[in-house]
Structure 1
């Protein structure tokens, strides 16, 4: 075997740090960009930031936080609440009403183990036995909303009946023994098992509907949330105008203290020169991000003009590829530039991605957006006979025959779930 040295020439693509930086900045929300700029100031001595006078980010009253969602809230600024937490209030009431130290200790333990809806979540309890826990739950009813401390939906509803509606014997029996049938709206099965009429089932069901499944939904200490948009579109003199909401981003300046070190030929000069290159790349990346986003918004205003005037129901079919072609950029660039962005419009603030929606073909050769189909779906279900709700297949057939929209049962099911609309059997009401 012979060892031979050979030279081989190949073409390849290497992503530099600067290119990676430009791509990352493109997908940042405005708040993320603010945080990144602050980090660069710490890493690069040549960067000098000048905060704007209307900058609220560093105010003691504001604390920025990015929330990941599928959805539309990416930039949220929180104002801390000065209110005393509800758990603290409950414990203060417990100390006031119950002088027995053991009861106070028991209630403190239970209150600290309540979840955000006021349900008691105990994984393993070594401090108190089951009888003591039961006693504590009933003591809780005297200091909080009825139903607090329940360990299940069934227990929550039964506590409300026990303390507020003791005369509702039928409702208590139904919840105790047939809650699963009630959840699945098996009206005839309930009537047969309980040996009562459908009219009695309906009357009992209507009463149970008045009970609160989450009697303590405000137990968590929530802060007030404010949405800070990345892009603003508004009416001025009858025209739509748009701009980036960058009023709180600091101005980026070159630190002149280091300018005399750029022309020296030593290790310090090399370091300063590299940092100067990074400084220029940062400015360039931010400007490119700004130009790209504004180009996209300009196309959106043209393509989705009816949305800005009439609202979400007027959103037209539009894809990332169509916008990319319009501004002569790659589809991936448009995708990154629209990530994590909230746009404030005369019709409200939404995730900018909501303005991109795929289309469904109609029989006459036209197209209809997913948003419009979902809106129609909601209207159809709202008007249906609640005693004989439409199945997904029947709704799909209706779209095909009455609206001329080609759509499958599976797609109807998907849209229905996205709209949080239950299936037909869970929408069925009692037919007397």
Structure 2
């Protein structure tokens, strides 16, 4: 009885491990998947990776290779070039960036930051806000809860989801759906979705920027127009395939241990083949929906980007929202507008003419472009920007929301723009 229980426990553990690996494989981009398969080859003599390249079959757009050799600190410093920061605080921001640990967490207290840079408490919190607004989401966090909260806020997650991670990390770890549902007055399905969303966040955000072995970012797919229709094509590098050496199955030996070993490796190789196929199918489902819904962006760029939520893609493709989240993670596509992170296609929206919605990314772009063409003597106030968006684009947006988006773009107020005569200080 005990022996049978032990065997069942081992089988259950193997099944759980395989499910976990299959879920993780969906988050891999092409380069990460290839590295994973290389590790499998070294451990399984039956697996062979079929040769592939980084090209696309149709040749409509040649993929670009982007070097990604910068450290996370250099990556963050580069972002400061596009942000308006008072000159007396710039060195303090740079000090904060240099204090970021390799995993993305802030490696000093606010008190230490304040004393080291001789700034006051209000300035320190302002600098923390700037630091935590940089990419990737979660950078500059001081705790795991704060790291995940920053990522959830960037995804515009419901308030109760951020409350769950801040107040009930243990329930999330144990996936205690009943306790979460009862405490936050949500359904079991909503509790499950909340946990999936939380689990899709990266606990060490800096690792998304500069993986040790990753020298290039290769687009995982390209989106192009053919005969008047927008289509997508996966890079062969994104969908590697394996072959299985079946001759070893007929190995003439009486060694039962060797036979059992080969049988186990064969089953594992078959499972990897199936997992790769499932990954390709789910990734293709998500891409198909993005292509269908974001065609204006491919034609006209960011101002035409439509609001889109992962839940909409999940419902249309008949997959779980967590599958969508994993499918777009760390992946890029080549488009007529350049190489774009798949996560950029998911934006919240505001109501425009005819009840349609316009994405927050599009509105930010319109605000930025409007300010760039304004008179330096008479820059637009937030209310004037609100009125102009309503009058010219039919977008209904409050003065307060304009201010929020303007600040997110790190553009000074109209009075400061008039004083400085530019977008930056």
Range into which the TM-score falls when normalised by the shorter chain: 0.5 to 0.7
The answer to whether 1:379 aligns with 2:384 is: no
Corresponding residue of 2:313: 323
Corresponding residue of 2:244: 254
Q: Is the 8 A contact 1:261 1:268 kept in 2?
A: no
CA distance in 2, matches of 1:63, 1:401: 40
Corresponding residue of 1:422: 412
CA distance in 2, matches of 1:63, 1:384: 35
CA distance in 2, matches of 1:285, 1:271: 21
Corresponding residue of 2:51: 51
CA distance in 2, matches of 1:285, 1:342: 21
Change (3 A) 1:280 1:67: farther
Q: What 5-or-longer segments of structure 2 have no aligned partner?
A: 1-11, 56-64, 76-90, 92-116, 118-214
Which has the higher Rg, Structure 1 or Structure 2? 1
SS at match of 2:340: strand
Deviation track 1:293-326 (CA, whole Å, cap 9, x = no partner) reads 1111112222122222222221111111111111
CA distance in 2, matches of 1:340, 1:313: 23
TM-score (norm: length of structure 2): 0.53
Q: Is the 8 A contact 1:25 1:33 kept in 2?
A: yes
CA distance in 2, matches of 1:365, 1:241: 28
**If each structure's helix is expressed as a fraction of its own residues, which one has the higher value?**
2
Change (3 A) 1:366 1:422: same
Corresponding residue of 1:310: 300
Give, in angstroms, the shift of residue 424 of structure 1. 3.1
SS at match of 1:429: helix
Change (3 A) 1:313 1:226: farther
CA distance in 1, matches of 2:341, 2:18: 28
Corresponding residue of 1:3: none
Corresponding residue of 1:239: 229
Corresponding residue of 1:33: 33
CA distance in 1, matches of 2:37, 2:383: 53
Change (3 A) 1:364 1:294: closer
CA distance in 1, matches of 2:318, 2:71: 30
Deviation track 1:387-411 (CA, whole Å, cap 9, x = no partner) reads 3434445534654677554434553
CA distance in 2, matches of 1:313, 1:428: 26
Q: Is the 8 A contact 1:342 1:351 kept in 2?
A: yes
SS at match of 1:428: helix
SS at match of 1:389: coil
Change (3 A) 1:293 1:393: same
Correspondence for 2:281 among 275, 288, 291: 291
SS at match of 1:253: strand
Corresponding residue of 1:228: 218
CA distance in 1, matches of 2:45, 2:281: 27
The answer to whether 1:338 aligns with 2:328 is: yes
The answer to whether 1:367 aligns with 2:357 is: yes
Correspondence for 1:353 among 343, 347, 350: 343
Give, in angstroms, the shift of residue 268 of structure 1. 2.8
CA distance in 2, matches of 1:264, 1:351: 54
Change (3 A) 1:254 1:403: closer
CA distance in 2, matches of 1:64, 1:293: 24
CA distance in 2, matches of 1:36, 1:42: 10
Change (3 A) 1:336 1:410: farther
Q: Is the 8 A contact 1:230 1:341 kept in 2?
A: yes
TM-score (norm: length of structure 1): 0.52
Q: Is the 8 A contact 1:26 1:336 kept in 2?
A: yes
CA distance in 2, matches of 1:289, 1:308: 25
Give, in angstroms, the shift of residue 369 of structure 1. 1.5
CA distance in 1, matches of 2:335, 2:299: 9
Aligned residue pairs: how many? 262
Corresponding residue of 1:18: 18
Give, in angstroms, the shift of residue 39 of structure 1. 0.9
